[in-house]
Chain A
């Protein structure tokens, strides 16, 4: 079955430390891949996207993600975390090569930033 998995429910990181959030997918063909961030009481904001090409994708707010076909992964990273990065992060996918354009989300990872 098609699925997108975020293995980490909650991550705590110190301000200034690096952050990596994991995302794995299970689809027949490489889907289109997205990362969104959601601050409390807000909607989702797109951080970055991957359709094809360069496997290292740069996004907003200093985030980047790397697509690894062999691992069916699309992990999100940030070299130095700021207190304002505390939020919920969602990986999302859209199947490619079909007429099914359903945008599906992982369960999310909550990031807490400690001073």
Chain B
């Protein structure tokens, strides 16, 4: 069974440029998460989807971040414009149902210069 797939693995952009991350969850998983992980810290939730509905986006900085989950499967997280402080690892995870174990992708390491 394929795991959670994220792309790209690494991205370097100049500040003020846009960037997008893509996530393909495990087949059949209804719940999808995007997390932000700064160096030496635990992941912090940005947004959680149940199917195509964003049920928790309270921690998503909506002035520059946006996300979508088309047809309740793949998801895209976008930053526009990027700031230096956005440099971090962006993790996508999925679970079969809410409160069940989440499976993580390898993450996208973003560097903003």
Q: Which residues in A have some Cβ–Cβ distance to B below 8 Å? A: 32, 34, 36, 41-46, 49, 90, 94, 96, 100-108
Q: Answer whether A104 and B91 are a contact pair too, CB < 8 Å, given A42-B106, A43-B107, A94-B99.
A: no
Specify the chain B residue showing the minimal Cβ separation from A106. Answer: B42
Residues of B within 8 A of A96 (CB): 99
- Point out the residues of chain B lying under 8 angstroms from A108, CB to CB: 40-42
Query: Residues of A contacting B1 with CB < 8 Å?
Result: none
Residues of B whose CB lies within 8 Å of any CB of A are 4, 31, 33, 40-45, 48, 56, 91, 93, 98-99, 101-107, 109
Residues of A contacting B91 with CB < 8 Å? 43-44
A-B pairs under 8 A by CB, number:
49
B98, A90: Cβ atoms closer than 8 Å? no
* A32-B99, A96-B99, A101-B48 as given contacts; A43 in contact with B56, CB under 8 Å: no
Q: List 16 A-B contacts (CB under 8 A).
A: A32-B99, A34-B101, A41-B109, A43-B105, A44-B93, A44-B104, A94-B98, A94-B99, A96-B99, A101-B98, A101-B99, A103-B93, A105-B43, A105-B44, A108-B41, A108-B42
Cα A101 to Cα B105 with chains together (Å): 20
- The answer to whether A102 and B56 have CB atoms under 8 Å apart is yes
Chain A residue nearest to B105 (CB atoms) is A43
Bound Cα distance from A107 to B33, whole angstroms: 18
Chain A residues, Cβ within 8 Å of B33: 103
Cβ-defined partner of A103 (8 Å) among B4, B40, B45, B107: B45
18 further A-B pairs in the complex, CB-CB below 8 A; given A43-B107, A44-B104, A103-B33: A34-B101, A42-B106, A43-B105, A45-B104, A46-B102, A46-B103, A49-B101, A90-B42, A94-B98, A94-B99, A96-B99, A100-B56, A101-B31, A101-B98, A102-B56, A103-B102, A104-B45, A108-B42
